[in-house]
């Protein structure tokens, strides 16, 4: 998964995922502009396997994280990244199982599909508990992220996970013990996003994991 080569960067003229906009407005009569993106809302789910008392996360290469971690250079008129100098590991993340809401279905149903696709668990809908919703990326993309928590068991494991092959997803399912999850909250050597940090803190505050 970590062999990333031939990285070039170009303009994003027409995307079904993000729509860059320049917003002009007046605030208390003062003219302002802001550059922002219209994005899909999303779901993310903290998964805890009660059979083996492990968290289930996903590890994947995130181009947006990679490109914000490297310097680019123009070669033959093309903006390029030297992948020998900047390894793919710079763009690898540990995340909650997550996905975008790109169809007209309740967020909980989308979470159920993502849990199946990315992690291989068939979780009954009623096991997927809403934690809260929050905003992501206030500066550039202000979408809503719906955060869930679900306890799964080994019996619910019906497939390998790994993401939807038709979408070219390459996702590694990562299991971590409770203590490893606790350490992950402040482990700056790993690329993590705030949803993961929040969900873990929520878990330690709200779930009686000591006797589960
Ligand atoms: N910007 C993009 N450019 C190109 N292809 C794209 C894309 N966004 C999605 N895709 C394509 O759509 C597929 C499905 O994406 P998912 O719904 O699984 O969301 P993802 O896990 O990427 O997280 C997403 O949703 C979660 C929850 O909102 C966010 O945290 C996370 O940033 C977001 O990528 C991806 O594999 C990819 O093929």
Residue 17 forms part of a structural domain = no
Mean pLDDT of the chain: 95
pLDDT at 211: 62
- Closest C-alpha to ligand 1, atom 16: 99
CB-CB contact of 45 with 149 (8 Å):
yes
In 3D space, the residue among 116, 152, 93, 92 whose CA is nearest the CA of residue 43 turns out to be: 116
Cα(194)–Cα(132) distance, integer angstroms: 13
Query: Does residue 198 sit within a domain?
Result: yes
Taking only the tens place, the pLDDT of each residue in 168-192 is: 889 999 999 999 999 999 999 999 9
In a domain, 23, yes or no: no
Tokens of 182: 């606790």
Give residue 102 CA to ligand 1 midpoint distance, Å. 10
What's the CA gap between 170 and 118, in Å, rounded?
A: 9
Q: Is the pLDDT of residue 156 over 60?
A: yes
Which one of 40, 44, 99 would you pick to mutate in the ligand 1 pocket, going by the greatest count of ligand atoms within 8 A of its CB? 99
Give me the torsion for CA of 42, 70, 78, 75, rounded to 10°: -170
Calculate the alpha carbon distances from 20 to 15, 24, 150, 200 in Å.
9, 13, 34, 32
**Residue 210 pLDDT exceeds 80:** no
Dihedral of alpha carbons 80, 66, 60, 139, sign: negative
For residue 20, tell me if it sits in a domain: no
Predicted model pTM:
0.94
- Has the ipTM of the complex gone over 0.90? yes
Task: List, for residues 130-154, the tens digit of each pLDDT value.
Answer: 999 999 989 999 999 999 999 999 9
Strand partners, 173: 58
Q: How far is the CA of 168 from the centre of ligand 1 (A)?
A: 11
Q: Which CATH number covers residue 165? A: 3.90.79.10
Mutating to test ligand 1, I would choose from 45, 63, 66, 98 the residue with most ligand atoms within 8 A of its C-beta, which is: 98
Is residue 161 in contact with ligand 1, taking CB distance under 6 Å? no
Is residue 44 a part of any domain in this protein? yes
Q: What total of structural domains would you count in the chain?
A: 1
Expressed as residue numbers, the domain containing 86 is: 36-205
**What are the residues whose beta carbons fall under 8 Å from the beta carbon of 186, sequence distance 6 or more?**
none
For residue 76, name the pLDDT band (cuts at 50, 70, 90): very high
Whether residue 25 is contained in a domain is answered as: no
Q: Over range 81-103, report the average pLDDT.
A: 96
Whole-number Å distance between alpha carbons of 104 and 135: 20
- Give the pLDDT score at 209: 79
Residue 163 lies in a domain: yes
- Residue 212 falls within a domain, yes or no? no
The string of DSSP letters for 99-151 reads EE--SSS-HHHHHHHHIIIII-B---GGGEEEEEEEE--TTTB--EEEEEEEE
User: What is the pLDDT confidence band of residue 1, given thresholds at 50, 70 and 90?
Assistant: low
């Amino acid at each position: 998964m970590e062999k990333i080569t031939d990285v070039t960067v170009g303009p994003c003229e027409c995307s079904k995922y993000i729509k860059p906009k320049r917003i002009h407005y007046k605030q208390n009569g003062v003219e302002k502009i802001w550059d922002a993106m219209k994005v899909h809302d999303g779901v993310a789910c903290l998964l805890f396997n009660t059979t083996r008392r492990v968290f289930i996360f996903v590890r994947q290469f995130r181009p947006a994280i990679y490109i914000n971690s490297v310097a680019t250079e123009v070669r033959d008129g093309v903006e390029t990244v030297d992948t020998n100098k900047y390894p793919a590991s710079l763009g690898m993340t540990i995340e909650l199982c997550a996905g975008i809401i790109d169809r007209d279905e309740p967020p909980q149903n989308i979470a159920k599909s993502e849990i199946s696709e990315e992690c291989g668990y068939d979780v009954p809908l009623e096991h997927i508990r809403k934690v809260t919703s929050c905003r992501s990326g206030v500066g550039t993309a202000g979408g809503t992220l719906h955060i869930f928590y679900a306890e799964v068991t080994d019996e619910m494991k019906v497939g390998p996970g790994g993401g939807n092959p038709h979408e070219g997803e390459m996702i590694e399912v990562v299991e971590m013990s409770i203590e490893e999850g606790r350490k992950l909250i402040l482990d700056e050597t790993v690329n993590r996003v705030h949803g993961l940090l929040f969900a873990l803190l929520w878990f330690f505050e709200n779930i009686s994991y000591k006797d589960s």
